[in-house]
Amino acid sequence: MTDAKSRIEETIKDNDVVLYMKGTKSMPQCGFSSRVAGVLNYMGVDFADVNVLADEEIRQGIKDFSDWPTIPQLYVKGEFVGGCDIITEMTLSGELDTLFDENGVSFDKEAADKIREANA
């Protein structure tokens, strides 16, 4: 676990926004990962994607690291934010916008508003 833990720590330290997911941001391989990556892509967020399907050690390691049992997992400025349901709720409530603003993460505010309008 030490190797996986140190790789995870390094990845979330070196990137403002990291999504641990099944697949990649351009080719998600599960619906939940697709939803979160889709939101981030649509909002124009620059994020690192880590495909847990490509590395079993990271797949289990990220669950142990966050003490969160499911994938995807979103990290902003080194802090665990949540999985698909939490990110969906935060997007619709505007909390994700606030989190990005507070952490200096650039995103397309109009795109975020369009997501909310489409789901109102």
User: Percentage of residues in the chain with pLDDT exceeding 70?
Assistant: 98
Confidence of residue 120 (pLDDT cuts 50, 70, 90): confident
pLDDT of residue 84: 97
**Strand pairing partners for 46?**
none
Kindly write down the DSSP assignment for every residue of 36-51, as one continuous string: HHHHHHHTT---EEEE
Residue 16, pLDDT score: 98
- The tens digit of pLDDT for each residue in 13-68 reads 999 999 999 999 999 999 999 999 999 999 999 999 999 999 999 999 999 999 99
The CATH number of the domain covering residues in 2-118: 3.40.30.10
Question: Backbone phi, then psi, for 19, in 5-degree steps?
Answer: -120, 115
Average confidence (pLDDT) over 63-80: 97
Encode burial over 1-27: b for 16+ CB neighbours within 10 A, e otherwise: eeebeebbeebbeebbbbbbbbbbbee
Computed over every residue of the chain, the mean pLDDT equals: 96
Given a cut of 60, whether residue 1 has pLDDT beyond it is no
**Could you give the CA distance from residue 34 to residue 49 in angstroms, rounded to a whole number?**
12
Q: How far apart are CA 34 and CA 38, in angstroms?
A: 6
Query: Is residue 8 within 8 Å of residue 58, measured between CB atoms?
Result: yes
Reduce the DSSP state of residue 24 to 3 states and report it: coil
Question: What is the per-residue pLDDT for 106?
Answer: 97
Closest CA to 17 of 44, 46, 51: 46
30 is in an annotated binding site: yes
pLDDT of residue 2: 63
DSSP state of 7: H
